[in-house]
Amino acid sequence: MRTPIIAGNWKMNTSVNEAVELVKRMLQVDRVKGVKKIICPPFVSLVPVKNLIENSSIELGAQNMYFEEKGAMTGEISPIMLNELCRYVILGHSERRQYFAETDEMINKKVKTAIRFNLVPILCVGETLKEKETEKTRDVVSRQVSRGLEGINATDSLVIAYEPIWAIGTGKSASVAEATNTISLIRATIEKMWSREKAETISILYGGSTNKQNITEFVRQDEIDGALVGGASLKADEFVDMVKQTAEIKNKA
């Protein structure tokens, strides 16, 4: 049984003070059972946020990481710095791929390093609008998954987020059918690399314009284990509501 996940990616938003205020208003999700609640604030807010959630069931993630453990890499953050602070790390987000030229090869190195340092990667994959319109979604996503996981032995320390790029921050989410089909493809791709049994243990989330109005449509699907939430995770009430709705639906099943 996979535990559902609602993960908030705050991206490059919130000052340290704002992050502290936001997380204080989210602490009430502590009481919601049966859903993993993960928040991924900017690096500079990891420590103060960690201090606030320490005695709660909320878990912490980072938004990126470099693939070497230390050295002359000005401005980068290493797995050693992160594994003292958090359990999860988002890797290969489409904004990193698009604006910071991250390749599947780099992302694969990051995934390997994260696992080596006991961090759980949240590996993001997804197609552009052009790729969707030219019916390349299946090729693109299965390639991103197999290259992202190349050379990695079967592990259950992994989360995958399917985030179609055209759905991120646009207010236009994928349809439930699109999300479900692609997530099934991702699981089948992992099954081919590892085994059916192992593929069944991996949580696969949908991300892209999820909010409190549409979250139930997605989490009602057995294949969809939760959501990676951007914009809506910056509003405490909305995030809390999404966690509660997910718990209600998944715990009923």
Indicate which residue of 93, 95, 102, 238 is catalytic: 93
The least CB distance from residue 184 to ligand PGA, in Å, is 20
Looking at residue 4, the DSSP 8-state letter turns out to be P
Cα 107 from Cα 99, distance rounded (Å): 14
| 93 in catalytic set | yes
Residues 129-188 that bind ligand PGA (CB under 6 A): 163, 168-169
**Shortest Å, Cβ 54 to ligand PGA:** 25
Per-residue interface string for the shown chain with ligand PGA, residues 7-46, x marking contact by CB under 6 A:
--x-------------------------------------
Distance (Å, rounded) from C-alpha 180 to C-alpha 128? 17
Whether 232 contacts 11, CB under 8 Å: no
Distance CA 193, CA 196 (A): 9
How many residues bind ligand PGA, per CB under 6 A? 13
Nearer to ligand PGA, 49 or 74 (CB): 49
Q: What is the DSSP letter of 56?
A: S
Q: Which positions from 191 to 220 touch ligand PGA by CB under 6 A, shown as an x/- string?
A: ----------------xxxx----------
Is 127 considered catalytic here? no
In which element (H, E) is residue 67 found? none
Nearest to 96 by CA among 122, 74, 130: 122
What does the binding site for ligand PGA look like in residue numbers (CB under 6 A)? 9, 163, 168-169, 207-210, 228-232
